[in-house]
């Protein structure tokens, strides 16, 4: 099933503004200030972080369930870092932090499954060009 997103930008880079839609329910606005400063609105890197967190959590949950240890929950945050590299805005790092509630699973097995999900979830694969992708994985409690 293809997934759709769209965006519209009006004006120049520094004073213009844009709106976006992801699917039917997610909408927002963005601007130079929301992306490169501390302005109101969203930015593309937040959307990438949300997509990566969602994909990773699903992949990890599925892998654990298929291995016989179904999860109660997996909560993941992705911090996407945008820096200027050689004069161009570049995503230089994605830091994933995940916490799982998985009855009957030890920390080492959870971390191993998390590393596998990081390497193999579709969004991780799509973001393979990001120079640094880190993972902190732990069990709740």
CATH (residue range 44-139): 3.30.300.20
The pLDDT, as a whole number, for residue 41 is 93
Residues linked to residue 89 through DSSP beta bridges, in sequence order:
84
pLDDT recorded at residue 141: 81
Ranges of residues in the chain whose predicted pLDDT is under 50: none
110 backbone dihedrals φ, ψ, rounded to 5°:
-65, -45
Q: Where are the domains of the chain?
A: 5-36, 44-139
Q: Angle, to 10 degrees, between the axis of helix 44-66 and the axis of helix 107-120?
A: 130
65 and 58 Cβ atoms separated by less than 8 Å = no
- Report the pLDDT value the prediction gives residue 1, as an integer from 0 to 100: 79
pTM of the entire predicted model: 0.94
**Is the CB of residue 62 less than 8 Å from the CB of residue 75?**
no
Contact (Cβ atoms closer than 8 angstroms) between residue 93 and residue 130: yes
Structure tokens at 90: 């570049």
pLDDT at 134: 98
From CA 93, how far away is CA 81, in angstroms rounded? 5
């Amino acid at each position: 099933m293809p997934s759709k997103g769209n965006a519209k930008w009006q004006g120049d880079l520094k004073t213009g503004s844009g709106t976006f839609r992801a699917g039917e329910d997610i909408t927002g606005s963005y601007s130079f200030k929301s992306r490169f400063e501390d302005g109101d609105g969203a930015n593309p890197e937040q959307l990438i972080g949300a997509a990566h967190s969602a994909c990773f959590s699903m992949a990890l949950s599925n892998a654990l369930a298929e291995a016989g240890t179904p999860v109660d929950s997996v909560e993941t945050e992705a911090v996407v870092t945008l820096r200027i590299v050689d004069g161009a805005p570049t995503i230089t790092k994605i830091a994933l932090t995940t916490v799982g509630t998985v009855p009957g699973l030890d920390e080492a097995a959870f971390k191993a499954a998390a590393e596998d999900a990081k390497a193999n979830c579709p969004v991780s694969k799509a973001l393979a060009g990001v120079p640094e992708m880190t993972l902190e994985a732990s069990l709740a409690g």
